[in-house]
Amino acid sequence: MNYNIALLKGDGIGPEIVDSAVRVLEAIGKKYNHTFNFTPYLIGGCAIDATGEPLPKETVEGCLASDSVLLGAVGGPKWDTLPGNMRPEKALLGIRSAMGLFTNLRPAKLYSALKDECPLRADIVENGFDIMIVRELTGGIYFGERGMREGKYGEEAYDTECYSRMEIERICKVAYETALKRKCKLISIDKANVLDSSRLWRKIVHEMEKDYPEVEVADMLVDNAAMQLVRNPAQFDVIVTTNMFGDILSDEASQITGSIGMLPSASLGDNTRGLYEPIHGSAPDIAGQNKANPIATILSASMMLLYSFNLKEESDNIVNAVDKVLNAGYRTADLSHGKEYLSTVEITDKIIENL
């Protein structure tokens, strides 16, 4: 088959890690007889430098015309002082919204080879953990009404958390269906002891329960969830939560897997076109040094094969190759503790050898 992939390399380590994932996809294409055509578009700081805006129209159009999108990372100190709506991060929110990607799947699992990297006590992670975070991605406080005004104490700024029934229902449907394909355990995370938006969220989660009798569903308050993730991560199978809570908890979950450099993500809407990106940022401090861990991006490419192109065997092939390379003891700088490590290009070579 022939697939057209839009590449949004972005800033910092973005170009290096996307190049690695492209090399892996090309190797997979060769092995299984697929053609992947890659078309690069600008996003983030590099787009600001070249065109004056973080998300040029051609980028949005290119993504919408593609079969799927692979993204590196955006942002860096150079653009940190720009006003909010001109920041590189705005482009990320913009492209998710323009593509209608309301679902963000963030798997966090402990690789057996990386058990020693987990900062939790050995007895806590004895049996590992394998969590799928289903984060709502185009609603909530990141997209709600915002502004500046004069308030009781003078100048103030505000952002609003707002969720409609439609938005809650569609993300919960994805979460329930995801749970059905896994261990049938769903935990919905909210702050229903304080927020009205969470109370509506919780109500709808339970209205939908009857449609999924196989799924065991429970609620958890977000502060407790932050604690439970480090107390007993193995209790989680599928988590469903809002945009902001999902943003925060997925970073926490990544740390207990050993390195944020390991976690991929898939952003999906109601068709097969998705956007795949590592959950980490652009790491400007190591950009251009051939030192970044490309595994999160390579695994994001494997998620693209599965979720957008329905190529399960090809997708599994990548995941298994990453496993083999880690089991053989190869590490990137983020996992090396100052000891010998492989460069971005070298670890990519190893993964390709193991496909």
Q: Which residues bind Mg ion (CB under 5 A)?
A: 247
Give the CA diameter of the chain.
65
Contact status: 92 vs ligand IPM (CB under 6 A): yes
> Among residues 118 and 253, whose Cβ is nearest to ligand IPM?
253
Beta bridge partners of 135: 104, 241
Least Å from the CB of residue 55 to ligand IPM: 12
Q: Do 167 and 230 meet the contact criterion of CB atoms below 8 Å apart?
A: no
b/e per residue 66-78 (b: at least 16 CB within 10 A): bbbbbbbbbbbee
Nearest position to Mg ion, beta carbon: 247
User: Interface residues for ligand IPM in 310-339 (CB under 6 A)?
Assistant: none
Assess whether 247 carries a catalytic annotation. yes
State the DSSP code for 328.
Answer: T
> Among residues 93 and 98, whose Cβ is nearest to ligand IPM?
93
Contact region with ligand IPM (CB under 6 A), list: 26-34, 86-94, 233-241, 318-326? 86-94
Q: Do 18 and 70 meet the contact criterion of CB atoms below 8 Å apart?
A: yes
CA distances from 352 to 9, 20, 23, 34 (A): 20, 10, 8, 16
Residue from 3, 41, 142, 330 carrying the catalytic annotation: 142
Half-sphere exposure at residue 332, Cβ-oriented, CA atoms within 13 angstroms: 26
> Among residues 190 and 247, whose Cβ is nearest to ligand IPM?
247
Tokens of 189: 């995370």
x/- mask, ligand IPM, residues 239-278, rule CB under 6 A, reads --------x-------------------------------
> Among residues 45 and 233, whose Cβ is nearest to ligand IPM?
45
> Among residues 131 and 321, whose Cβ is nearest to ligand IPM?
131
Q: Which does 92 bind (CB under 5 to 8 A by kind): ligand IPM, Mg ion, none?
A: ligand IPM
Q: Do 15 and 72 meet the contact criterion of CB atoms below 8 Å apart?
A: yes
x/- mask, ligand IPM, residues 194-233, rule CB under 6 A, reads ----------------------------------------
Q: Do 14 and 74 meet the contact criterion of CB atoms below 8 Å apart?
A: yes
The set of residues, in sequence order, having a beta carbon less than 8 Å from that of 271 and lying 6+ positions away, is none
Q: Do 354 and 321 meet the contact criterion of CB atoms below 8 Å apart?
A: yes
Residue from 190, 191, 276, 291 carrying the catalytic annotation: 191
- Point out the residues that are catalytic: 142, 191, 223, 247, 251
Binding footprint of ligand IPM on the chain (CB under 6 A): 89, 92-93, 247, 279
